[in-house]
Amino acid sequence: METMSVVEARRSFSEVMARVAYTGQRVVVARKGRPMMALVSVEDLRRLEELEGEAPSTRTRRAAALALAAAARARIRAERNSVPLPGSADTLDRLREERLHELANLR
């Protein structure tokens, strides 16, 4: 992504606009070394607007998933009388060992 000063952008606006529009290049315009804005293609703008439209629903879905996970943890904790579940690595190791013994007995 190219960065140019306001003066450079103003001086070569037509050329910059063509690069952005036809190649999809993004250009950051800076004033006194600080980025102030970006020139993006219309296609990029459409994608940004779509993402903005989806953001609240995505956040809502994530919050609902986290709430479901918290409820499931509370339910499991209650069912096990607050005894923690074994770690997943321990469970996988135990299952792997059981499977190896089963395979050894098949020989």
Instruction: For residues 16 and 10, give the distance between their C-alpha atoms in angstroms, rounded to a whole number.
Output: 9
Partners of 39 in the β-ladder: 27
- Edge-to-edge, what's the strand order for the sheet holding 2-5? 2-5, 27-31, 34-39
Q: With 80 as the cut, is the pLDDT of residue 107 above it?
A: no
H or E element in which residue 24 lies: none
Task: Quick: pLDDT tens for 20-79.
Answer: 999 999 999 999 999 999 999 999 999 988 877 765 677 788 888 999 998 998 888 888
> Quick one: pLDDT at residue 56?
63
Interatomic CA distance for residues 28 and 4, integer angstroms: 6
Q: Maximum CA pair distance of the chain?
A: 81
pLDDT of residue 88: 85
The residue with greater pLDDT, 14 or 53, is 14
Q: How confident is the model at residue 15 (pLDDT cuts 50, 70, 90)?
A: very high
- Predicted model pTM: 0.49
Q: What is the pLDDT of residue 55?
A: 59
